[in-house]
Every structure is written in C-alpha cells, then in structure tokens.
Amino acid sequence: MKVAIITIKLLEESAEKSIKDLEKELLNWFKENTFLIPWAQDIKNVKVKENSETQAFHYDIS
C-alpha cells in the first residue's frame, strides 16, 4: 500500500481560522473531491500545523 503526503502553503486568510477548522474543511473538501483522483480510494486524515515559513498539512490515502 502507498501513502501520499502533500504539503501546501495556505493563503494569509487561513490565519483567521483555527487549525481544527482548517483540518475539518480540508478533509471535507478532499473527501468530496476524491473522485477527481482516479487512483485515490479514500482520504483518511488531514493535519494542519504552524510552520515558520508556511502552514502545511498532509493527508493519507489508503
């Protein structure tokens, strides 16, 4: 089984939201749009973290 880890720099507007809200919204978006990735079965997890350069998240596909 392979797992994908993706890092994305979020826009400044994301600073207005809590980490939990960002995680929930991103997870929901990826789950709703999984069909756009033909080799993705299910989005399991989204984590948002503060970083000195970016706010980043990763998600696991299993």
**pLDDT reading at 60 higher than 70:** no
The yes-or-no verdict on residue 59 having pLDDT over 80 is: no
Q: Is this model's pTM higher than 0.85 or not?
A: no
What residues does each domain of the chain span?
12-61
Provide mean pLDDT across the span 10-39.
90
22-27 LR contacts (CB < 8 Å, sep 24+): 22/48, 22/55, 22/57, 23/47, 23/48, 23/57, 26/57, 26/59, 27/59
Task: Report angle CA 3, 22, 34 to the nearest 5 degrees.
Answer: 40
pLDDT tens column, 31-53? 898 888 888 888 888 888 887 55
pLDDT grade, residue 27 (50/70/90)?
A: very high
Judged against a pLDDT cut of 70, whether residue 62 lies above it is answered with no
**CA distance linking residue 32 with residue 17, whole number of Å:** 21
